[in-house]
Amino acid sequence: MLLAFDVGNTNIVLGVFEKRRLVQSWRLETDNNKSADEYGMVINQLFSYEHLDIHDVEDVIVSTVVPSVLFTIQHLSQKYFHRRAIVIGPGVKTGLFIKYDNPKQVGADRIVNAVAAYHKYGGPLIIIDFGTATTFCAVSDKAEYLGGTIAPGLKISSDALFEKTAKLPKVELEAPGSVVCRNTIQSMQAGLVYGHMGLVEFVVGKMKDELHAITGDKPITVVATGGLSSLINSGTDCIDHVDKMLTLEGLELIYEKNRRNRKNRNCDTNEETW
């Protein structure tokens, strides 16, 4: 079995693959203070609850945007699975041609999402990830990762309203059904949720214009992932597919591209490695 970690600023999503099929996934809170043993005990309990044997894990792959947690996950991998995990980063084959000015600055999760989306839906395409930040990524029909846009996520925006104002409360992130609201909570919900829907519609429209200038009139597929993707999709017309497991599936695809070269991985810089 393969154990895949997607470590975000807010949550760690982990999944178990057996014979290239995702058999189980879980979501944990990202905690910089947790030790490898604490995470190990939690994972052992999760496996046990789902009647999975932790000893069947043959390899580990990690995508992280939280450097402080990486050492902990590597320690966890070596202690509990006796493997040094593959970490998404420079030298790992992705199959994409990274056209970013500095490829090392691209978030690992953005590359992993692009790999999975291109494999499943082809190109050109736009991938939106509704995480701590909301990211938009553009991929051409030639498997070129062209770049994208980063905006504050819905939760960050909600927390900022609560923390930076004297009287505004914390609110649940849900659509109130109206923008002419008669109470403070629904007014905030409308501004947060519908405002984010407007952001998505505008950015996707602009990205499509720029992609058409590069790829011609080929249809552009828009794929959304992340915890709040269904909420935003419910009020927009620009998203073609909601794919919650996109990042985990991307990690499995990248693992398959790299597993044969585990011992002698080529770390020379080129457009197909990152």
Q: Which of 109, 237, 240, 243 is catalytic?
A: 109
CA dist 227 and 219 (Å) reads 26
Q: What is the dihedral sign for C-alpha 47, 10, 179, 149?
A: negative
What contacts 24+ positions apart, CB below 8 Å, involve 203-207? 203/136, 203/149, 203/151, 204/126, 204/128, 204/136, 204/238, 204/239, 205/238, 207/126, 207/136, 207/138, 207/148, 207/149
At which residue do the structure tokens 């990202």 appear? 30
Backbone angles phi, psi at 218, to 5 degrees: -65, 140
Residues 6+ apart with CB under 8 A from 254: 61, 86, 88, 92, 93, 94, 112, 115
The DSSP output letter for 93 is: B
Three-state SS at 5 = strand
E strands, the chain, are 2-7, 11-18, 21-29, 59-64, 86-87, 97-98, 125-130, 133-139, 144-152, 221-225, 241-242
| Encoded amino acid at 254, one letter | I
Three-state SS at 77 = helix
Note if 101 is an active site residue: no
Active-site residue list? 109
